[in-house]
Amino acid sequence: MNINEKNSKGATPRTSYRHTFRLAVLIIILVLAALLVRQILVPESFGLKGYYRAAAVDEAREFPIRHVGEKACIECHDDIASLHDKDAHAAVPCESCHGPGADHAQAEGETAILIPEGKDPCLACHRPLDARPSAFPQIRWREHYQFVGVKDTSIDCIECHSPHEPLFMDRDIRSARLHPLIHRCQDCHTERFDRDFHRPKSHPAIFECSYCHKEIVEDFSRRAHSEIQCSTCHMFFKESDFAGRIIRDSDPRFCLLCHREADFRSSDAPPGIKWPGHLEDVAMEPGDTKKRCVDCHREMIHKIMERPDSNE
């Protein structure tokens, strides 16, 4: 019978909720249990200073110090630090590669410290990732090895690149000339940089080397290294949202990154040079042994347009 229908005496029957009592009691018990569990599990100091356990700060202070900072490293390794601080890894702390150094420093070098091996320590920063800025050096190591003629793929990066002085800069990177920020197509077109697109008239200006260095770029296009991008040798290091440092490295060891003669290079590698024996072989007078590669092989690169205020 419909509960809205009147009974035989003409009265409407009352709606019963007795079937919900058990459910209500169950919900109340669960809520009380949750509050009790929360009271037991949530630490007393939680929320006193923020959405975290305030006592954790004091506990963290009691942990033994594991990282000592670069000053401790310099005390014993000032020669390595002087190389590191002028080169491309200047902003990379020692312990980023060598791990915590507290035990090593306190034992005055008697305890071992991590010595990275293999390619993975380098590729941790230099493996291509879409999340990284496009200007950051990113290496597809197999392609790179093929480019520089490395036939033995088991060779580690440090065979050519010193981890403390990877680009062998002849002077401090922070003394290099400031250069306007360079924007490249792939900075915005991350999925289409390998394709050629027509640039519409309304497109914002994208800086290319030839805009300011047209004569040098044209001259370079006729040289032996013309297939190499300008940024391969003239690397750009961003310092701010507006500018960075651009290097012009003339240290012979920089050229030898590609041209040093080594057993692990293949027959189709770039021309190999025995160093420093090459200088002794070609020297006509004592001063020749101090010359740089570019002093004799300028025709392989491009001519230099010196500026009156140039300090490079």
| Model confidence pLDDT, tens digit, residues 289-304 | 888 888 888 888 888 7
User: In angstroms, rounded to a whole number, what is the distance separating the alpha carbons of residues 151 and 142?
Assistant: 10
pLDDT tens-digit map of 85-103:
999 899 899 999 999 999 9
Q: What is the mean pLDDT of the chain?
A: 85
Q: Does 84 have pLDDT greater than 80?
A: yes
pLDDT at 4: 54
pLDDT at 187: 67
Given CATH 1.10.287, say whether it is the number of domain 66-115: yes
pLDDT at 312: 44
pLDDT average, residue stretch 128-151? 87
Rg (the chain; Cα; Å):
33
pLDDT at 311: 44
User: In angstroms, rounded to a whole number, what is the distance separating the alpha carbons of residues 121 and 115?
Assistant: 10
Q: What are the residue boundaries of the structural domains of the chain, listed by start?
A: 1-63, 66-115, 119-300
pLDDT interval class at 30 (50, 70, 90): very high
pLDDT at 208: 76
User: In angstroms, rounded to a whole number, what is the distance separating the alpha carbons of residues 202 and 90?
Assistant: 40
pLDDT at 92: 93
| 312-to-76, 171, 277, 295, 304 alpha-carbon distances in Å | 32, 10, 27, 14, 11
Q: What is the pTM assigned to this prediction? A: 0.70
